[in-house]
Amino acid sequence: MCIIAERRALLDFKEGFTNDFNRLASWISEEEECCNWIGVGCDNTTSHVVMLDLGGMVITGEISSSLLELKHLSHLNLSSNNFHKIPNFIGSLSELTYLDLSDNSFTGIIPHQLGNLSRLFYLDLSHPQSLKSDKLEWLSHHSSLKSLKIGFTNFTKATNWLQVIQPHPSLSELHFDYCDFLEVDPSSLSRFNSSNSLSILHLTSSTLQPSTFPLLLNLIQKFVELDFSDNYFSGSISLSFDNMPALQRINLRGNNL
């Protein structure tokens, strides 16, 4: 039997958005067993809600703070909907290990409070409408993060993005597609050692400067997959694959090299 307070929180959450195709028809007050509602997963022993999987439910509206009542929530998927803002309070869902907010209508600044989600191993903020990030230091608190996907984001004020990402202890997959960057100062990287974890890097159609490309390859040597497509690089880039024995795939399509 689901927890009464959590059932009420789910109903309050539903009140904050519209669902034109009524795909959450099972979310009604008359249905007491919320663990059977579509998109809801409960712990078999405690009956606490531990998963919300509402991807592609054609939801429009706001992410309600009623989610804070789901104190055992570890998996939250709100992808492919029409939410408008990433709320600061989402950083208080401290049990989250999986957070997918991709393909929504988000605008504004990525909240620093995401750094409080220290248990995360997967974070997807790709395909928003338009986001900004003035700093990325919050990522340093994610010691367990393995996969990070951010897209359509302006990083021109987060000038130290590479210094934050490069020494990350667990990050193995990074996607910064359709993002805006400033040129990286090579001297700012001199004190960093090669990354021990990052193996997949996608920087598709981003305003990446050609000078950054060899810096990445020299600093991060365990790449298995690289995607620098559609960056409109021109001229020649010095590559040394001797330092990347694990490399299996590289995509440089859409450049003039």
Query: Is the CB of residue 147 less than 8 Å from the CB of residue 123?
Result: yes
Distance in angstroms between the alpha carbons of the first and the last residue of the chain: 62
Residue 123 placed within a domain: yes
Rg (CA), the chain: 20
Name the pLDDT band for 59 (thresholds 50, 70, 90).
very high
Whether the pLDDT of residue 11 is over 90: the answer is yes
Kindly report, residue by residue over 92-108, the tens digit of the pLDDT. Answer: 999 999 999 999 999 99
Model pLDDT for residues 161-215, shown as the tens digit of each residue: 887 887 778 899 999 999 998 877 766 665 555 556 889 999 999 988 777 777 7
What is the distance between the alpha carbons of residues 10 and 8, in angstroms, rounded to a whole number? 5
pLDDT for 189 equals 61
Residue 134's domain comprises 84-251
Residue 2 in any domain: the answer is no
> 92: helix, coil or strand?
helix
Share of the chain above pLDDT 70, in %: 90
Whether residue 125 lies inside any domain: the answer is yes
Tell me which amino acid residue 25 is. A
Domain membership of residue 88 (yes or no) is: yes
For 13-20, the CB contacts below 8 A with 24+ separation are: 13/64, 13/66, 13/67, 15/64, 16/61, 16/62, 16/63, 16/64, 16/66, 17/59, 17/60, 17/61, 17/62, 17/64, 17/83, 18/59, 18/60, 18/61, 19/57, 19/58, 19/59, 19/60, 20/58, 20/60
The total domain count for the chain is 1
Rounded Cα distance between 138 and 187, Å, is: 23
- Residue 185 belongs to a domain with what CATH number? 3.80.10.10
Q: How far apart are CA 208 and CA 14, in angstroms?
A: 40
Among 128-132, 190-194, 226-230, whose mean pLDDT is lowest?
190-194
Mean pLDDT of the chain: 89
Residue 47 in any domain: the answer is no
pLDDT score at 187: 66
In a domain, 44, yes or no: no
pLDDT of the residue at 240: 63
Q: Please check whether residue 194 lies inside any domain of the structure.
A: yes
Report the relative pairing of strands 225-227 and 249-251 from DSSP bridges: parallel
Q: Is pLDDT of 115 > 80?
A: yes
Asked if residue 230 belongs to a domain, the reply is yes
Find residue 153's DSSP bridge partners.
Answer: 131
Measured over the CA atoms of residue 4, residue 65, residue 29 and residue 77, the dihedral's sign is negative
